[in-house]
Amino acid sequence: MSDKINKYMQRAIDLSINSVNNGGGPFGAVIVKNGKIIAEASNSVTINNDPTAHAEVNAIRLATSQLKTYDLSGAEIYSSCEPCPMCLGAIYWAGIDKLFFANTKTDAKEIGFDDAFIYQEIALPFAKRKLLTKQTMRSEAQKAFTIWNEKEDKIEY
């Protein structure tokens, strides 16, 4: 790997270590665009009482706020660990072009962060999921989709 990749990854790793020392989870993330760090964050789930406050999501929120855009095309994310399903989804939705990570999801599982059940649940039919999942009022909800589809001045994302 190049020196730049190692530099940004080391920063993500340092953030993960600092996070543990400050009461957060052992995860850090750095977002780089055009050779410049535009956001960095660590896991703050227990600090903020927010189950979505993973390092990658926190960094994406900071980056989009900083750049005043929801589109992070051209950016790279460096994560101290292979992203969980939520974070991986957020990385795709943000349009980030490259993902680099250090620890694997297996490494995370070994210290109590096991996301395998989420991957398994996603693949199951609704009726077989552990989370009660029922579809209701689809025809009423279609109104918003129709309005969106017909809107000429919408901002597509």
Contacts of residue 78, Cβ cutoff 8 Å, sequence gap at least 6 = 5, 8, 9, 11, 12, 29, 30, 31, 32, 100, 101
β pairing state of 98-103 and 36-42? unpaired
Known catalytic membership, residue 56: yes
Contacts of residue 63, Cβ cutoff 8 Å, sequence gap at least 6 = 31, 33, 38, 39, 72, 75, 94
Name the catalytic one among 40, 56, 76, 140: 56
Question: What is the rounded CA–CA span in Å between residue 84 and residue 119?
Answer: 9
Q: Tell me the catalytic residues.
A: 56
